[in-house]
Amino acid sequence: MTMLKKSTLMLASGIVLGLASCSKDNKDNGGSGNAGAGRFIIAAVPTSTGSEGVADYLLTAENLESGTLSTEGNGLEQDGTYRYYTTSGTKFFSMLYGQGNPGAVTVYQLDKNGKMQKLTNFQSETVQSFAAVGKDILMVKEARKYATPTSRWYRVSTESLTIVAEGQFNSAELANNGELAHFSWIEQVGNKVFAPFFSIKATDAGGWSTDYPDSAWVAVYSYPDMTLEKVIKDNRTSSIGLYFTNGLTKVENGDVYAFSPSNTIKINGTAQSFNSTKPSSIIRIKSGTTEFDQSYLFNIEAVAGGAYMTSWINVGKGVVVATLNTSDKKSQWQVANKLAVIDLVNKTFKWVTGAPDAAAITDFSMTNYSAQDGKAYIGITTSDKKSAVYKIDAGTATATRGLELVGGNITAIQWLPAQ
Amino acid sequence: MTAFLRTVLLCLVLPFSAFAGPGTVKGTILSADGQPVPGVAVLLDGTDFVTETDAEGNYVLEHIPEGSYSLSVSGVGFKAVHREITVSGGDPKPENFSIRMEGVALKNVTVLGLTELQAVNRQAYNVTTIDAKKLYNTTLDLSHALDRLAGIRVRESGGVGSNIDFSLNGFSGNQVRFFLDGVPMDNFGSSFQINNVPVNFAERVEVYKGSVPVWLGSDALGGAVNIITGNKLRNYIDVSYSFGSFNTHRSCINAALTSKKGFTAQISAFQNYSDNNYKVTLEVADINTGAYTPDQTVRRFHDLYHNETVVANIGVLDKSWADQLLLGITLGNNYKEIQTGARMVAVFGARHTRGNIIMPTLKYKKQNFLIRGLDVVLNANYNFGKEQTIDTVSGRYDWYGNYKAYPGLGGESARTMYKYGNNNGLVTTTLFYKISEKQSLALNNVFSTFNRKGADELYPESTVNAQPQTTIKNITGLSYKIDFTDKWTATVFGKILHQNAHRRSVITAVGMPDEILDQYNKSTNYGYGLATSYYLLPQLQAKFSYEKSNRLPENFELFGDVVNQESNFNLKPEISHNFNLGLNYNFSIGEQHRFMAGLTGIYRDAKDFIFFRFNANQWKVVADNLNAVSNIGFESELRYSFKQLLMVELNATYQDIRNQVKYDPPGSIGISPVYHDRMPNIPFLYGHGSASLFLNDVLCRGDKLSFGYNLLYVYAFYLYWPSRGSKDDKYDIPTQLSHDVNMIYTLKNGRYNIALECRNLANERLYDNFSLQKPGRSFAIKLRYFYAK
């Protein structure tokens, strides 16, 4: 089995199309939980392969510190896997990934007993990035081919649970370099939406390769009309974020930090190779500005022994818990095997101890939870098919094993407040 | 039907015109216990008048000059009887016989000894045969006819021409191979498939479960279906037309003309057309807001399907150098609108597909080729057909037919007009050699080529489509059959399967000259097996067969399809071990109540199953080897008949298909939580029942009126892994129960036929696949004319 195929398999086995959308509204709900106030929702998928016959299951827990949950005869079945999850207020959204065809998004709320109850369904397009913006969820369906470069955005009201506005933009014009811009994610920043993107050829032969591996871009849109204000660029690192991965995070003073995995590729026939000359790094956009701060650059590869960043979760006070991947396992997609604590403001980097060995880790959950109290809860699945929630204490850079999940891989951890 | 077979046989054995006389002899042959005996020879001693009994034991001899004759009845396993008769011009008195079993007899099986149907069913293989002729007055296509057999489920996504998933003992897709007169159909394209070929096209259909005889040279993993067209009639015409609900029109013409010198012209043509605008009930989304309105009943509005196919042959019959030499061409095309995605809430209003078939064919058959006892069959064809998906409308439709256009280029799913041809060539050669009375050899070779050429006029600059993608496949099989005793027969066989796939890529890099990269996927695999049959009692047959089978990767799995499927050039063949053990028993209670009971147990153990997963960014699916499944299954069949009046058939299938993937993903140490779980989204308990009532001479002499009822039952099954999730919230395909009824009236011994049928009588909401609702109650009328000289 070639490296390429293996990494593709690993990715297919691990990816869940959700991403660290840490809940900032739930400050009083630490990992110890508070039964009256809500529930943790854990998504799990029982098997790693197959595009058919495999579904996600949603389970609830009062705390993440201990205990065992099983998918056997238990859990709310979702219509397939490759779903992504987000919360807004007291509503939990289970969105679909449907190969380009529209389908049903299911909305749940907790009842008096802390059980998830289906509130409604509404129809939505399959999208590649989404974010809570005010009382909306903004979703973007990306163009797939350079020859058909139209991308569309949809604004869903979390009150009416319907699409209230939609529009489109040209992703080729956005890249403006003969390739296609593909948002890695979107993020609300003040009254704007920041959309970091990578540049891809998006042709039959070129696929997800690029001839522009050494630049980072963020498209800045006004909200709610989604007018493109500008595209900002920085040549000190590669593109920001990964497919379905938010490369932006806001800290308390309003500064926005961005990381690049620096894992863009070129394609040689059927072989692929990494082509960015820039190291995986963190850069910054100062609060209130729409330019990269040229005074700030944090070269992660230099402090991580060549490992590169693949995702992060903000735990408050300018600190993130990051997942990294060692350079020998480098992939264009979301594959990681190590954890570190990074102080964005003070530029410090510390490996996390107490997590399973890198060689044993097959998956990190990609939608994770932090109450902004210096702790993150991340699901880790190991090759012995054990999956558990680990509490990462950023202060001590240690991981502690908590709630265990039997019969599946944890793919998402969310907190849903009671109504 | 009776009339049909009579005519068939008459045509076979009678030189035309010369002996046309006024007299007729007819009757019914029953066994000592009152059971009709099909396939026994009936002849007038010392003349050329000879025929055989049909499935109901009936026979007829016509155009006999007046006079006295000795009428003889003889069949393998029965004691011959004679009777002196007188033939005159008037209405014949039935000459009925009761004949006695004479021990077990498979000795000297000649074409007159058993009907081919029975001969096939008596093979040691686990084989079931559909007598298509019995269904000629129905509107069934081949897939619906097959759906009535034990062990088979045909799942449809909608109405006429919709996608079907044919599964046999849990194997589906390309794991089961289809043949037309022994020629693999893999490469016929969308215009010639079992979901659009009417049952009238076939004479019978043989279904092999598990082991497949070598003369069906193939890489079937779990079974094969062989469609036999009737080439027996030299001069005949069979025309039918039906009209039914949802503006469905179907017609079929089969005809042959043969000169005395043996020059023959044969034509089969068929056509299906349907708007498929049946009503469905679902939650309908608002085109702008996405809000659902539940329980809306709407009509499908973009589901038109039509296909037209002509199969024509010319050649010669019964020459010293060829029993049959036919040159032919198959021409066809189809058009299909795509109404929905994988879930019915995803609705389309413009996407569609087109396909055609342009396939010249050559058929050659000769018995006693060069030496006595050596029979040769050669078939060759080349398909120039093309397939295309068209998706060019940038916008959205809703279920009310409203349309919202999006500015710019796009498609409803993915903008495409990709058109490709697989340019498949095929040569099959079969040699049978009879070593002695008890031993024979069969050698089969199938050579096929594939040369994908595709282009998309929307993306003319793409170079990916233009590169060579070729495959050469050769499968050779040899089998040896021995009849140890009258009761015991056995066959052993082996197969060698070669495949060589080639793909060229052009490497383009900025500032570098283009470089060419050639890749090959070569494989050689071996299969083998045995089949044996033993008569424990004269009426009780036991069968056992085993095969280690290989299914080579399909071209679309290796190369992808550009639109929805990504290439995986490293695929390995699927491998399966198939065991079958079957018992068949015939018995009767009293004189008039006759029974046939069959019970078959199967065991399948399959590895490196090719399955589909999403590619890295979930934009396409890609085939991969990983899945392993086992199946322990049981099939039972019971047939009952009362006199010539009533016939009841019941069959039931249970299959315990289990996931055998222990480590998922590969390399894990821990055991998969769904190891040994029942495979999801596959029906595991289902059955079929039918009852027919036959009335003769109802309005006038020689007419026949029959009433039929069909029942299909499929027990509920889960869409996703059964063991996971709370039972209350699981997605499932509920238990299906559908009832079809029909009434057939035939006149003039089957020359004129009129049939009325109603499918889904109870107007149930039927689903074979999650969310995809099938048609409600529908009606059809079919008119058919048959004439043979």
Task: Judge if the upstream peptide bond of residue A356 is cis by omega within 30 degrees of 0.
Answer: no
Here the tokens at position B85 are: 């008769």
Q: To which residue do tokens 């403001």 refer? A: A345
Mutating which of A5, A385, A406, A410 best tests the B interface, going by the most B Cβ atoms within 10 A? A385
Quote the CA–CA distance of A404 and A328 in Å, as a whole number: 29
Query: Across chain B, how many H-helices and E-strands are there?
Result: 4, 49
3-state DSSP call for residue A83? coil
Here the tokens at position A127 are: 């999208």
Are B673 and A47 in contact (CB < 8 Å)? yes
- Closest chain A residue by Cα to residue B412: A101
3-state DSSP call for residue A202? coil
User: What pLDDT is attached to residue B481?
Assistant: 94
Q: How far apart are the first and last CA of chain B?
A: 16
Number of domains in chain A: 1
Check CB contact of A117 with chain B, cutoff 8 Å. Answer: no
Provide the chain B residues 488-527 that lie in CB contact (below 8 A) with chain A: 505-510, 515, 517, 519
Here the tokens at position B124 are: 């040691």
- CATH number assigned to the domain comprising residue A94: 2.130.10.10
Are A71 and B724 in contact (CB < 8 Å)? yes
Here the tokens at position A325 are: 């991947």
The answer, yes or no, to whether residue B322 has pLDDT greater than 60, is yes
Check CB contact of A146 with chain B, cutoff 8 Å. Answer: no
Sheet holding B164-168, edge to edge: B152-156, B164-168, B171-172
Partner residues linked to A29 by β-bridges: none
Cβ–Cβ pairs < 8 A, chains A and B: 240
Mean pLDDT of the B215-220 span: 85
Quote the CA–CA distance of A218 and A162 in Å, as a whole number: 28
Q: To which residue do tokens 């963190």 refer? A: A282
Structural domain harbouring A111 = 3-417
Quote the CA–CA distance of A202 and A179 in Å, as a whole number: 7
ipTM of the complex: 0.89
Give A20-46 pLDDT, tens digit per residue. 343 333 334 444 444 458 999 999 999
- Closest chain B residue by Cα to residue A212: B510
Check CB contact of A297 with chain B, cutoff 8 Å. Answer: no
The answer, yes or no, to whether residue A265 has pLDDT greater than 50, is yes
Tell how far CA B415 is from the center of its chain. 34
Mean residue pLDDT across chain B:
86
Residue B77 banded pLDDT, cuts 50, 70, 90: low
Mean pLDDT of the B172-197 span: 89
The answer, yes or no, to whether residue B183 has pLDDT greater than 80, is yes
* Residues of chain A contacting residue B681, judged by C-beta atoms under 8 Å apart: 52-53
Mean pLDDT of the B185-193 span: 88
Residue B465 banded pLDDT, cuts 50, 70, 90: low
Least trusted range by pLDDT, from B385-399, B511-525, B631-645, B739-753: B511-525
CA geometry: angle B684, B690, B691, nearest 5 deg: 160
More confident residue, A292 or B749: A292
Provide the chain A residues 211-250 that lie in CB contact (below 8 A) with chain B: 211, 243
Are B616 and A75 in contact (CB < 8 Å)? no
Provide the chain B residues 572-601 that lie in CB contact (below 8 A) with chain A: none
The enclosing H or E element of B753 equals strand B752-759
The answer, yes or no, to whether residue A10 has pLDDT greater than 50, is no
pTM: 0.85
* Residues of chain B contacting residue A8, judged by C-beta atoms under 8 Å apart: 615-616
Give A271-314 pLDDT, tens digit per residue. 778 999 999 999 999 999 999 999 999 999 999 999 999 999 99
Give B138-157 pLDDT, tens digit per residue. 989 999 999 988 889 999 99
User: What pLDDT is attached to residue B5?
Assistant: 40
Are A50 and B612 in contact (CB < 8 Å)? yes
Residue B508 banded pLDDT, cuts 50, 70, 90: low
User: What pLDDT is attached to residue A29?
Assistant: 43
Mean pLDDT of the A159-166 span: 95
Closest CA to A359 of A378, A340, A334, A384: A384
- Closest chain A residue by Cα to residue B623: A50
The answer, yes or no, to whether residue A131 has pLDDT greater than 70, is yes
Give B652-678 pLDDT, tens digit per residue. 999 999 999 898 887 788 899 999 999
A258, A196 Cβ separation under 8 angstroms: yes
Residue B427 banded pLDDT, cuts 50, 70, 90: very high
Residue B2 banded pLDDT, cuts 50, 70, 90: very low
Are A102 and B283 in contact (CB < 8 Å)? no
- Residues B182-220 as b or e (16 or more Cβ within 10 Å = b): bbbbbbbbbbbbbbbbbbbbbbbbbbbbbbbbbbbbbbb
User: What pLDDT is attached to residue B507?
Assistant: 65
B355, A111 Cβ separation under 8 angstroms: no
* Residues of chain B contacting residue A382, judged by C-beta atoms under 8 Å apart: 670
- Closest chain B residue by Cα to residue A408: B673
Quote the CA–CA distance of A132 and A93 in Å, as a whole number: 11
Mean pLDDT of the B683-711 span: 93
Provide the chain B residues 101-160 that lie in CB contact (below 8 A) with chain A: none
Largest Cα separation within chain B, whole Å, is: 97
The answer, yes or no, to whether residue A16 has pLDDT greater than 80, is no
Are A123 and B285 in contact (CB < 8 Å)? yes
The answer, yes or no, to whether residue B682 has pLDDT greater than 80, is yes
The full set of domains in chain B, from first to last, is 1-112 (2.60.40.1120), 236-318+344-662+672-788 (2.40.170.20)
User: What pLDDT is attached to residue B73?
Assistant: 81
CA distances from B109 to B312, B536, B733 (A): 32, 19, 47
User: What pLDDT is attached to residue B359?
Assistant: 97
* Residues of chain B contacting residue A145, judged by C-beta atoms under 8 Å apart: 414-415, 459
The answer, yes or no, to whether residue B239 has pLDDT greater than 70, is yes
The distance of A362 to chain B (nearest Cα, Å) reads 9
Mean pLDDT of the A161-184 span: 96
Give B550-576 pLDDT, tens digit per residue. 999 888 888 876 667 778 888 888 899
Are A51 and B725 in contact (CB < 8 Å)? no
- Closest by Cβ to A73, choosing from B290, B515, B727: B727
- Closest chain A residue by Cα to residue B724: A72
The answer, yes or no, to whether residue A89 has pLDDT greater than 80, is yes
Quote the CA–CA distance of B284 and B786 in Å, as a whole number: 48
Are A101 and B463 in contact (CB < 8 Å)? no
* Residues of chain B contacting residue A129, judged by C-beta atoms under 8 Å apart: none
The answer, yes or no, to whether residue B374 has pLDDT greater than 90, is yes
Provide the chain A residues 334-353 that lie in CB contact (below 8 A) with chain B: none
CB contact set of B174 (below 8 Å; sequence gap of 6+) = B186, B551, B554
Quote the CA–CA distance of B394 and B397 in Å, as a whole number: 10
Mean pLDDT of the B359-375 span: 93
- Closest by Cβ to A211, choosing from B285, B510, B611: B510
CB contact set of A3 (below 8 Å; sequence gap of 6+) = none
The distance of A296 to chain B (nearest Cα, Å) reads 32
Check CB contact of A48 with chain B, cutoff 8 Å. Answer: yes
More confident residue, B116 or B464: B464
* Dihedral sign of CA atoms A274, A278, A284, A285 in order: negative
Check CB contact of A98 with chain B, cutoff 8 Å. Answer: yes
Are A53 and B719 in contact (CB < 8 Å)? yes
- Closest by Cβ to B731, choosing from A5, A79, A170: A79
More confident residue, A59 or B21: A59
Q: What is the DSSP letter of A333?
A: S
Q: Give backbone dihedrals phi and psi of B354, rounded to 5 degrees, phi first.
A: -135, 150
Q: How far apart are the first and last CA of chain A?
A: 50
Q: How many CB atoms lie within 10 A of CB B754?
A: 14
- Closest chain B residue by Cα to residue A407: B673
* Residues of chain B contacting residue A387, judged by C-beta atoms under 8 Å apart: none
Quote the CA–CA distance of A58 and A51 in Å, as a whole number: 19
The answer, yes or no, to whether residue B64 has pLDDT greater than 90, is no
A224, A153 Cβ separation under 8 angstroms: no
The answer, yes or no, to whether residue B15 has pLDDT greater than 50, is no
The distance of A34 to chain B (nearest Cα, Å) reads 24
Percentages helix, strand, coil for chain B (3-state, rounded to 5) are: 5, 55, 40
Instruction: Count CA atoms closer than 13 A to B152's CA, side-chain side.
Output: 26
The distance of A329 to chain B (nearest Cα, Å) reads 15
- Closest by Cβ to B670, choosing from A51, A144, A386: A386
Most confident of A183-197, A270-284, B361-375, B588-602: A183-197
Provide the chain B residues 617-636 that lie in CB contact (below 8 A) with chain A: 617-621, 624, 626-627
The enclosing H or E element of B145 equals helix B142-146
Here the tokens at position B224 are: 């094969």
Provide the chain B residues 538-567 that lie in CB contact (below 8 A) with chain A: 562, 564
Are B341 and A103 in contact (CB < 8 Å)? yes
Check CB contact of B413 with chain A, cutoff 8 Å. Answer: yes
The distance of B273 to chain A (nearest Cα, Å) reads 27
The answer, yes or no, to whether residue B8 has pLDDT greater than 90, is no
Closest CA to A4 of B568, B509, B521, B557: B568
- Closest by Cβ to A47, choosing from B409, B411, B674: B674
- Residues B617-629 as b or e (16 or more Cβ within 10 Å = b): bbbbbbbbbbbbb
User: What pLDDT is attached to residue A36?
Assistant: 56
Quote the CA–CA distance of B757 and B260 in Å, as a whole number: 40
B540, B583 Cβ separation under 8 angstroms: yes
* Residues of chain B contacting residue A164, judged by C-beta atoms under 8 Å apart: 289
More confident residue, A217 or B456: A217
CA distances from A307 to A198, A368, B666, B771 (A): 20, 21, 25, 46
* Residues of chain A contacting residue B569, judged by C-beta atoms under 8 Å apart: 270
Mean pLDDT of the B156-162 span: 91
User: What pLDDT is attached to residue B525?
Assistant: 94
Q: What is the DSSP letter of A26?
A: -
User: What pLDDT is attached to residue B116?
Assistant: 53
